[in-house]
Structure 1
Amino acid sequence: MQAQNLRTSTVIADKITKLPLENVNIYNSKDNSITNEDGLFVFVSENKEINLSLIGYNDVKTTYDEIKIKDTVFMEIQAINLEEIIVSDAASIIKRVHENISKNYSLTPYTENFFLRCLLKKNTELVRLQDIYGKVFKDKVFNTDLRKETEFAVEILNMRKIGIVDKAEITYFEFPNFNSFLRLSSSILFNRRDNYNFTEIKSEDNKFRKINFITKEKNENNQNINGYFIISKEDYSLKEFSLDFYDDIGSIPYQEKKGHKFRTTVYRITTNYRKNFDTNKYYLSNSKLDAKVEILGDNKLENSIYDFTANLFTTNSFTGENINSNFSVDKDIFKAKFPYSADFWNNQNQLPLTQELNNFLKRVAENKDKKKEFEVIGNF
């Protein structure tokens, strides 16, 4: 059967506000994709069935033929009250999630295909774009044993990246490595439950519970780590997990490196999970990391704010394919050097380029010959 390649201008939007919806899961029993911030998506699959899912909205079931002729697909928000505090033993619910890990998740080695987009902005202006498609080996979904870190291996199948650097710039912003990003996605606090306070937030959605958490004590940066779980009432699986390392920006101390002062003011990751119907196990469907770093100006540097985003989603879960590791999971992701193939990208699930990214590529093209002022790093 030939794969359907749905590249469409159809926008997924909120029915009431008409605004585009980001990170909507586009999936069927075999393949997965998500929408970008413009509500656009690419979906490649041999199966014509298409499902749309986003927490807080009613699911939409449609087909390739139905969706390709529409300008907009509207999703209807559910009536959910997430602010009212209710009385419950939230910690016992988290314990039930922990007790059901082996039933709901794979704790043995497996492989997945993934798409990763990394973006870097300096003072709100894009300076780097990197898209990676590859395979990842994981020895388990979650790190359930503090004595043994989760192990990963990555095979990059294709990549496209572009960056523009002012040659007067003396700051290099290091991208995270796969190890730190994937470990953060797989660490969900179950081994440190006694360090947190849990509070359940009432929801009118009968399928899920939402439980907020916060550390009982501040850390060395004078911050309380906080976040939330969204948990299925049916089987105590995680639907969504969010972890935020900073809650009081004003008290974050500056660090110093080579005489320059800087501090991280945002470091937040949100991860979603979906069930594979062949294995009956949940897997990481998508994960988004947001970070912000402030640099104090001096006689060599201007005041700068760097915003970094990494958006990863699993395109195919539990594939059973072998991994030919070709990039160190401990290396800065932007240091990866692999060729770009337009034919390859034309047949993969991925995030489409947003209007902002298209404008960035145009700006790079307009400045690429100004070699005295700018250095352009890229492979497409």
Structure 2
Amino acid sequence: MGASAAAAAALSIAAALPVAPAQAAVQFDTTSDLMSASGLSGTVYTAGDEFADDGAGMSYSISDTLPDGIEGNIAVPLADDSYAVPQGLPTAPTRATDSAAVEDLLSRAQSFYDAGSQLIWDSSRPTPLTGTVVHSSTTAPYGVTCSTFVSMVLLGWDYDHTTYVADENTQVGYAVDFGVDPSTSKIWRANNLASWFYAHGDLWLETGDAGDTFERGDILFFSEQDPEGRIDQVRSGTEATYFGNVYHAAIYMGDGMLIHSTGTGDGVNITTLNPVLKQDLSFVARPSFTTEAANTGQATETSTGQGTTGGTGQGTTGGTDAGVDAPSGSATAQGQTTESTGGSTTPTAAVPAPTAAGGQNSTQGGTTGNTNSGAVRGVTPVPPNRHYSRPIEDHRTWMNR
């Protein structure tokens, strides 16, 4: 048989053989399911973070060794000591900063700093996010954590219009509309905030490849392997997973300065973003703000009229952190939680469709004791290079329990 005839015969045989199906993508429902897996290779996917429908699914590349740098900080450790490294994440913001909203945000953040020794970093004490009238149920110094501080500012509150001082929480400025009841939501944890912003397309990975991409008013998130030393609790299901291994959140003031709640000094401090902390910087969020009444579904008047007052029911979740941020789930009296993440650890074959846009599966609640003022107040911009009175040493041991 000639060469051409042999080639034709081979092609004829090959055409008659069944074609092997394309390799189906391996997809897990949640990050917890992924962590329980072993023997993976190539690319795998999650449908969501804590829940399959929370909009925070990712694609991952499996690595036998822990990568260096930020990829190593956010990599998910698997049951066989390999790692699932997130890939394809956004690396730049999707919108320009809103200068008016930023100055309002920082002015209100400053009010918590100005509270000085009235606040103390303490994850065991209730915060206004629990629905508790803090000033009448506890004594100063009142508790605050990194994520509850950031959350209260994002909700449009300042110190004097929270239940640290007042009898109800009142939105007085630009706010992020999380679409939740603040006193019952589980969002108020640093990694849950990051997950929510990711699911809504407002979060990016800060690689530093082209210089800093974050600006004044952005929310910075920090990650490390085994965040807060809680990996055993996460693996056992007694605590929820940490999105992106995030353990801390802060607000960037510009000029290399942060305003955040730490475990040193008064409850809220202004410090530098020094190289030790910056090596843990993983994600940045640039919130989308509204001047309308947020997290109640009620429109705000454009004059100085007051919004309708909500109820004063006690909240049952949120408001404190364990270490830095409390795990989400069933609440304790202080708002601490211990949710087990369910779901099968067996992967399902699926065509991957992870997305950075979607809805957070947040718990909705009833009345919260929150009100919303009619107009965003005028603010005096906080200079990024002003002198602050309470310098403290920047180091991750702030966040140690």
Same fold, judged at TM 0.5 (above) = no
Q: As a proportion of its length, which structure holds more helix?
A: 2
Q: Name which one, 1 or 2, has greater alpha-carbon Rg.
A: 2
TM-score tier, shorter chain, comes to under 0.3
Q: As a proportion of its length, which structure holds more strand?
A: 1
Task: Using structure 2 for the length normalisation, give the TM-score.
Answer: 0.21
Task: Using structure 1 for the length normalisation, give the TM-score.
Answer: 0.22
